[in-house]
Structure 1
Amino acid sequence: MSIRHHLSDALLIAYAAGNLPEAFGLVVATHVSMCDDCRAQLATFEAVGGAVLDGDAAVAMTDGALDAVMARLGAPEIIAPPSPQEDFPAALRGYLGGGLAAVKWRNLGMGVRQAILPTSKGAMARLLYIPAGQAVPDHGHRGTELTLVLQGAFRDAVDRFGPGDLEIATEELQHTPVAEAGEACICLAATDAPLRFNAFIPRLLQPLFRI
Structure 2
Amino acid sequence: MTDTINHHIPEAILAAYAAGTLPHVFEVVVATHVSMCESCRAGLDAHETAGGVVLEGTGAAALSDDLRADVLAMLDMELPADPAKSVRKGIYPGPVMEALKNREPRWKSLGMGVRQSILEAGPEGSLRLLYIPAGRAVPDHGHNGLEMTLVLQGSFSDETGAFGVGDLEVADEDLEHTPVAGEGAPCICLAATDAPLKFQTFMPRLLQPLFRI
Query: So what's the TM-score if we normalise by structure 2?
Result: 0.86
Whether contact under 8 Å (2:140, 2:178) holds in the other structure is yes
Q: Which runs of 4+ in 1 moved over 4 A?
A: 59-62, 68-74
Deviation at 1:98, TM superposition (A): 2.8
Q: Letter of the 1:187 partner, please give it.
A: C
Match of 1:200 among 185, 202, 206: 202
The answer as to 2:194 corresponding to 1:177 is: no
Deviation at 1:71, TM superposition (A): 11
Identity over aligned pairs, percent: 56
Q: Structure 1: where are the runs of 5+ without partners?
A: none
Deviation at 1:70, TM superposition (A): 10
* Per-residue Cα deviation, 1:175-199 (whole angstroms, up to 9, x for no partner): 1100011110000001111111111
Deviates further, 33-42 or 118-127? 118-127
> Could you say what secondary structure the match of 1:46 adopts?
helix
In the alignment, which residue of structure 1 is the partner of 2:34?
32
| d(CA) in 2 for partners of 1:21, 1:201 | 30
Indicate how the Cα distance of structure 1 residues 73 and 51 shifts in structure 2: closer, same or farther if over 3 A, else same.
closer
* Per-residue Cα deviation, 1:39-59 (whole angstroms, up to 9, x for no partner): 100110110101111112236
Match of 1:88 among 89, 92, 95: 92
Indicate how the Cα distance of structure 1 residues 8 and 180 shifts in structure 2: closer, same or farther if over 3 A, else same.
same
Match of 1:48 among 35, 47, 50: 50
* Per-residue Cα deviation, 1:59-115 (whole angstroms, up to 9, x for no partner): 6799xx8xx7599658xx9xxx958x543111110111336xx00011000010111
> Could you say what secondary structure the match of 1:107 adopts?
strand
In the alignment, which residue of structure 1 is the partner of 2:109?
107
Deviation at 1:122, TM superposition (A): 1.1
Q: Within 5 A, what are the aligned runs for 1:8-23?
A: 8-23=10-25
The alignment covers a number of residue pairs equal to: 200
| d(CA) in 2 for partners of 1:21, 1:82 | 23
Query: So what's the TM-score if we normalise by structure 1?
Result: 0.86
Match of 1:137 among 129, 136, 139: 139
After superposition, the CA RMSD in angstroms is 2.4
